[in-house]
Amino acid sequence: MPLALDLLTCKGAREEENETSVRFSRSDTSRQSLISIAGRLEEGYLTELEALCADARATLVFDLSELKGADDAAIRWLVDQVNRGNRMTGASPYIGYRLERESAGHDRQPEEEPK
């Protein structure tokens, strides 16, 4: 029987202006921890998301079916999770496209050469 953790809702400082928020939830089984992300994931929320992932004892599976958007830092973080052996599921075509481009290195800014 899966263990469901309470929803963690993070609200941005701009919430009153444009209703920015993201919700995380985690459901654990013996084989995996399913982490659902709903809303817009931004760099400022990654600390809370990392804390939710930290004590998982199984493979992480990120359900992105309700993820509406993500900034560049969040996309890089998600790709890093895949590189660590975790999985993504339910990504919209746009989020999937962004993850693929980042994974292939197409969205990275070229580093400036030292002078």
Specify the pTM: 0.76
Q: What is the pLDDT of residue 107?
A: 56
- pLDDT tens for 62-82 read 999 999 999 999 999 999 999
Q: What is the pLDDT of residue 109?
A: 56
Q: What is the pLDDT of residue 55?
A: 86
Q: What is the pLDDT of residue 4?
A: 41
Q: What is the pLDDT of residue 85?
A: 93
Q: Which fold has domain 3-103?
A: Transcription Regulator spoIIAA (3.30.750)
The parts of the chain modelled with pLDDT lower than 70 are: 1-20, 106-115
Three-class DSSP labels, the chain: CCEECCCEEEECCCHHHHCCEEEEEEEECCCEEEEEEEEEECHHHHHHHHHHHHCCCCEEEEEEEEEEEECHHHHHHHHHHHHCCCEEECCCHHHHHHHHHHHCCCCCCCCCCCC
